[in-house]
Amino acid sequence: MKAIQLEKPLHFRHIDVPEPEKPQRGQALVRVHRVGICGSDYSGYLGKMPFYSYPRIPGHELGVEVLAVGDGVTNVKTGDRCSVEPYMNCEKCPACQRGNSNCCEVLQVLGVHTDGGLRPCFLLPARKLHPSTKLTLEQLALVETLAIGCHAVNRANPQPGEAALVIGAGPIGLATLEFVKVSGARPIVFDLSSVRLDFCKNRLGVKDVIEIKADGSEVAALTELCGGNLPTVVIDATGSNKSMGNALNYAGFTGRVVYVGITTQEISFPHSVMHRRELTLLSSRNALPREFRRIIQLIEEGRIDTRPWITHQAPFDAMINEFPNWLKPETRVIKAIVNVQ
């Protein structure tokens, strides 16, 4: 059977992989239907992802169908359609023992550290499957991206009516916004790109967006929006170390600042900003099983509208040719999905 492998940066190829074995105890054999492409796939392709190893079959945002289950599996059965939690954790380290499977000390992410879903079928631990009888396969493939935003918002724990600033309106910032809205907090978005801000306004219904210019005028605009104060939740989803250092300046007294974006650079800020306002600085990595279940329920209930999300699609055989186009800003990709079957 054919899989798509990223052999080395900038080089995808079709390879033959053996048919999977029968599922062992606790495992499920799944057919892959849809694969979402995200920032880490683009960085892996460009050779800019620090933990990525090659060659690798990418694909961690998956909408799958269960073909068979091994002994002892009770959470899914043959025929179930599922979202996949792609964080393979050891279940033994102190973080796992505390229930933080998102942040296992030896975490292996599908499609990044181990082979992922750009193949017709493969074996997974059944405990990583989250079924839904209502969601489409595209929606199931979107759940993981949304989960990154969900976890970031849960780290900040915004309260109804509280102002929450999201910096960066890429897919991760947009996912974060969805859960700021669900929390009842008041979303405000910063970006450098007017195109991305227009998307927030027109497609996600976020009223308050501010385009960052180099002149620092956004602080006055933000203070005005918040009736003379600053927001007490700030979530940085840019991946820019400059923005992340600056983010603390946007937080009001005793506020919470969450870094969901990732940088390999150092971040710097004057400690006085943090100390004087007694800010809490949090990071956010991956997501938890209960967050996957909650998202599925929110989509089922119509509280999250996934329609604006999928902007591009390609069949499996056309992906290798299409992929470089999705990197071009003028194609305005939010989420591209590969139809494997």
Told to check if 260 binds ligand NAD by CB under 6 A, we report: yes
Shortest distance in whole angstroms from residue 124 CB to Zn ion: 16
How many angstroms separate the CA atoms of 282 and 262, rounded? 13
Nearer to ligand NAD, 29 or 103 (CB): 103
Residues 25-44 that bind Zn ion (CB under 5 A): 38
Nearer to ligand NAD, 68 or 334 (CB): 334
Q: Choose from Zn ion, ligand NAD, none: what does 93 bind? Cβ within 5-8 Å by kind.
A: Zn ion
Nearer to ligand NAD, 76 or 209 (CB): 209
**Cα dihedral sign for 311, 112, 3, 78?**
negative
Element (H, E) at 163: strand 163-167
Q: Which residues contact 332 (CB under 8 A, 6 or more apart)?
A: 195, 311
Is residue 43 a contact partner of residue 93, using CB atoms and an 8 Å limit? no
Residues 33-52 that bind ligand NAD (CB under 6 A): 38-40
SS3 state of residue 315? strand
Among 89, 102, 139, 176, contact with Zn ion (rule: CB under 5 A): 89
Among 135, 167, 251, 338, contact with ligand NAD (rule: CB under 6 A): 167
Told to check if 65 binds ligand NAD by CB under 6 A, we report: no
Shortest distance in whole angstroms from residue 338 CB to Zn ion: 13
First to last CA, the chain: 12
Told to check if 103 binds Zn ion by CB under 5 A, we report: no
Told to check if 339 binds ligand NAD by CB under 6 A, we report: no
Among 89, 241, 284, 339, contact with ligand NAD (rule: CB under 6 A): 284
Shortest distance in whole angstroms from residue 43 CB to ligand NAD: 7
Nearer to ligand NAD, 38 or 76 (CB): 38
Q: Choose from ligand NAD, Zn ion, none: what does 169 bind? Cβ within 5-8 Å by kind.
A: ligand NAD
DSSP 19: P
Q: Choose from Zn ion, ligand NAD, none: what does 243 bind? Cβ within 5-8 Å by kind.
A: ligand NAD
Shortest distance in whole angstroms from residue 131 CB to Zn ion: 20
How many angstroms separate the CA atoms of 297 and 101, rounded? 21
**Cα dihedral sign for 39, 236, 173, 254?**
positive
How many angstroms separate the CA atoms of 190 and 237, rounded? 10
Residues 102-161 that bind ligand NAD (CB under 6 A): 148
Nearer to ligand NAD, 49 or 163 (CB): 49
The b-or-e profile of 95-123 (16+ CB within 10 A means b, else e) is bbeeebbbbbeebebbbbbebbbbbbbbb
Nearer to ligand NAD, 1 or 195 (CB): 195
**Cα dihedral sign for 4, 12, 49, 238?**
negative
Residue whose C-alpha is closest to residue 118's, from 333, 320, 331: 320
Among 108, 136, 193, 280, contact with ligand NAD (rule: CB under 6 A): 193
Told to check if 240 binds ligand NAD by CB under 6 A, we report: yes
Told to check if 171 binds ligand NAD by CB under 6 A, we report: yes
How many angstroms separate the CA atoms of 204 and 306, rounded? 10
Query: What is the separation of C-alpha 128 from the centre of its chain, rounded to a whole number of angstroms?
Result: 16
* Residues at the contact surface with ligand NAD, assessed by CB under 6 A: 38-40, 148, 167-173, 190-193, 196, 212, 237-240, 242-243, 260-262, 284-286
